[in-house]
Amino acid sequence: MKTTLFFTSIFIFLSLQTLKAQNKFDIVFPQANRDEVCQSCTRIFQQKPKEVKFSIVKDKANNLYFEVNNKQWFNQLFKNSGDGIAIDVVTKERYDCMEATPEASQIRGELLRPVYSAVLKKKLRPSPQGKNRFRTRVGKLSASYTGKDVEFNILFLSNKNLCRYQTIFNLQAYQWGLLDMGMYLDSLTYKTKLNALADKESFTLKHKNLQFTIPFEKNKSNYSQEDIKPLYDSLRLTDYYIKKINIRAYSSVEGNLERNLELQEQRANSIVSALQTFQKPTIITEVSSSENWVEFLNDISNTEHEQLKNQKKAVIKSKLNAGLSNTLEHILKNHRKAVINLELEKIDRYKDKNISMLIKLFNEVLGQEKVDEAIEIQNSIFEKLKDKQTDPNVLNQMNIPRQLKYTLFFNKNAAFRYLMNERNLLIAYGELQDLEKLAPKNGKVKYNLAALKFTIWKHNVQSVNEQNFKKQILTLKNYGISKALVNRMLVNYHIVKSEKYLRKQDYVNKDKSVDYIYANYKNVPLTDYDYLSLAQFLAYYSNIDKAVNILANKVKSIDVIENLLFYYLNLTLIDKELTKTTDYRTIMLNALNMNKTRFCSIFNALEDGGVTFQLLEDDFLRETYCENCNDQK
């Protein structure tokens, strides 16, 4: 779920320029003596806890406020009479692609009159934006800026000396959850996120996902039943049918862009049509297409054509179409393909029976000890509950003898209650506690108990002895639970611990838990959604470098999920050493191919949902932006 909270949506980074001597109002711009006159200010920023954040906000009357979430740090920063703030008002007009690259300047826009300690403290008030936030007025925006894209940089003054020039970057941050531990039903079952950055979730009991790649022959756009049958047969779809197919089709980069995209979409739809002929249920379809710049730029590395990586896309296309494509066909042919994700759902033999018939049939076959058939019927009942065809209390009508050999059925019913509705947390937990007495050595029951206990602990539903809980997690391996799953729980253990330490303002132990998470996440099998959630968690705690390192290898893949790729960009766009590399350009082109509008909006003003248009001070980012986004508003 996207948040607009001050603490998670705004992250502060330095943009300190080499200063030249000049005078604006009564501000002093130090040169050789800067370290001496700025010693106090520098020390205060160096000792600032990572959790302390600040920003500039504008109200409806165009008043500008300095907002901070720690009053004690504010008073340290503005201790002396000459300590203060001045605002540099910057407009996006400075970065017009039709104009020459703007010259580096210590002041990028209009400098407002500075405000000093006495006034800052006198006007400090609780902010209406939220609890534990304070703000003080530092200026007003004139009417001349009406209709313009503007941002506000901060000049921090110590004894009227400019000691810090700071640009605010508005990085989108989202709520994260614990790494998904799943719940044991027949096997480990996970909630499936409908959207990685949304708060909606669903889950499925009977599906699995497959991913594979189909190469495209040059100039071929149609696929027949005969072409696809070997693929379909290899899937062995006797117990499953294809519920959903997602195809990302890629063309090689030579040729006309519009024609390339059209051809790829034709190819993708042709594959879907061919697969549909093998089954009656309609396949839900998602198709996207783009040029395969990522693999092209990667594959020409360390070849005699590597210099192309520094060229604009139009120049590269021109050279390829002038004959170079024939030379590079051995590379280009590998870029014409479709990456296909299939969501398979198990065939339900009892789909047409109503819930009353299913309950009756379940009780009959279980009474006859036909366990496998009873499992199928139980899953069919679950599907009807998922579709809200009946009330979950219908599970109470299942006559399951309270015997050790029927532990699986009790375990599934309890876990399913929780998966259906988290409000059933304590009911499911109580049922599993009772079941553990019947089956004290059943690893699935013990795992489910631990998984539910995390939610109880995280939300303070009941008191949890932390040390005993950690021992409970560690002993799971004695009951057949894999080391990887135990490690995942230990990472989650420290995620909860870090949050609890933060609430107590115990930053030292909070950092120890965060360090444990970073040191051990590689021991845990993670999905792309897990990587994204973990990176968001680390960024929330201001561990930006660690968040970047977690995502660095993932973003090099052509099939990286979109939200992960864009989150990586948000975290790294300020790194001028990184943005000038050809590898980073490749990552940006991948993002452009995936979602051009979203990429270009990164360079909008903060108030318009951007990270900041002042990223365009970076020549390499400006070149990519002006090449690809100049037609975007």
φ and ψ at residue 101, rounded to 5 degrees:
-60, 130
Closest CA to 69 of 2, 155, 123, 6: 6
Non-local (6+) Cβ contacts of 134 within 8 A are 67, 68, 69, 71, 74, 124, 125, 126, 127
Q: Residue 337 belongs to a domain with what CATH number?
A: 3.30.1330.60
Q: Mark whether 483 and 604 lie in a shared domain.
A: yes
- DSSP per-residue letters across 277-328: TT-SSPPEEEEEEEE-HHHHHHHTTTSTTGGGGGS-HHHHHHHIIIIIHHHT
Closest CA to 176 of 434, 443, 458: 458
- In the chain, the N- to C-terminal Cα span, in Å, equals 26
Q: What is the chain's mean pLDDT, rounded?
A: 87
Task: Please check the confidence at residue 1 and state whether its pLDDT lies above 70.
Answer: no
Residue at 593 is within a domain: yes
Can you tell me which residue has the tokens 């375990």? Answer: 411
| Residue 388 DSSP one-character state | T
For residues 275 and 341, give the distance between their C-alpha atoms in angstroms, rounded to a whole number.
13
Q: Mark whether 159 and 243 lie in a shared domain.
A: no
Averaged pLDDT for residues 3-31: 52
Q: Residue 503 belongs to a domain with what CATH number?
A: 1.25.40
The tokens of 204 are what? Answer: 């499925």
pLDDT one-digit tens code per residue, 306-348: 999 988 888 999 999 999 999 999 999 999 988 888 888 888 8
Q: Mark whether 551 and 406 lie in a shared domain.
A: yes
Q: Please say which residue of 346, 368, 388 terminates a domain.
A: 346
- Is the CB of residue 449 less than 8 Å from the CB of residue 433? yes
Q: Mark whether 223 and 135 lie in a shared domain.
A: no
Q: Mark whether 230 and 339 lie in a shared domain.
A: yes
Q: Mark whether 453 and 322 lie in a shared domain.
A: no
Q: Mark whether 610 and 505 lie in a shared domain.
A: yes
Q: Mark whether 64 and 146 lie in a shared domain.
A: yes
Among 21-30, 127-136, 474-483, where is mean pLDDT lowest? 21-30
Among 142-146, 191-195, 318-322, 368-372, where is mean pLDDT lowest? 191-195
φ and ψ at residue 425, rounded to 5 degrees:
-50, -55
Residue at 573 is within a domain: yes
- Is the CB of residue 248 less than 8 Å from the CB of residue 559? yes
Residue at 193 is within a domain: no
What is the residue type of 120?
Answer: L
Among 170-174, 219-223, 282-286, 508-512, where is mean pLDDT lowest? 170-174
Which domain, by its residues, includes 431? Answer: 399-628
Q: Mark whether 430 and 529 lie in a shared domain.
A: yes
Residue 63, beta-bridge partner list: 140
124 versus 554: the higher-pLDDT residue is 124
Predicted pLDDT of residue 108? 93
Can you tell me which residue has the tokens 């979730």? Answer: 201
Residue length of the chain: 633
Kindly compute the dihedral angle of the four CA atoms of residues 549, 551, 553, 556, in this order, to the nearest 10 degrees: -130
Closest CA to 530 of 502, 501, 500, 561: 561
Residue at 199 is within a domain: no
Q: Please say which residue of 117, 149, 169 terminates a domain.
A: 169
- Is the CB of residue 114 less than 8 Å from the CB of residue 84? yes
Q: Mark whether 232 and 144 lie in a shared domain.
A: no
Residue at 323 is within a domain: yes
What is the residue type of 412?
Answer: K
Predicted pLDDT of residue 206? 55
Task: Please check the confidence at residue 158 and state whether its pLDDT lies above 70.
Answer: yes
Q: Mark whether 76 and 219 lie in a shared domain.
A: no
For residues 290 and 288, give the distance between their C-alpha atoms in angstroms, rounded to a whole number.
7
Residue at 151 is within a domain: yes
Residue at 183 is within a domain: no
pLDDT one-digit tens code per residue, 255-296: 888 888 888 888 888 888 888 888 888 999 988 888 899 899
Number of domains in the chain: 3
pLDDT one-digit tens code per residue, 18-62: 334 444 899 999 988 999 999 999 999 999 987 899 999 999 999
Q: Mark whether 471 and 607 lie in a shared domain.
A: yes
For residues 473 and 454, give the distance between their C-alpha atoms in angstroms, rounded to a whole number.
10
Return the percentage of the chain with pLDDT > 70, whole number: 92
Non-local (6+) Cβ contacts of 546 within 8 A are 514, 518, 538
Task: Please check the confidence at residue 374 and state whether its pLDDT lies above 90.
Answer: yes
Buried (b) or exposed (e) across 234-265, using 16+ Cβ within 10 A?
Answer: eeebeebbbbebbbbbbbbbbbeeeebbebbb
φ and ψ at residue 63, rounded to 5 degrees:
-75, 140
In SS3 terms, 62-96 reads as CEEEEEECCHHHHHHHCCCCCCEEEEEEEEHHHHC
SS3 275: helix
569-to-419, 533, 542 alpha-carbon distances in Å: 34, 15, 16
Predicted pLDDT of residue 569? 93
Q: Please say which residue of 169, 196, 221 terminates a domain.
A: 169
Buried (b) or exposed (e) across 441-467, using 16+ Cβ within 10 A?
Answer: ebbbbbbbbbbbbbbbbbeeeeeeeee
Residue at 457 is within a domain: yes
pLDDT one-digit tens code per residue, 195-224: 333 334 445 555 677 888 888 887 777 877
Reported pTM? 0.77
pLDDT one-digit tens code per residue, 572-615: 998 999 999 988 998 998 898 888 999 999 999 988 989 899 99
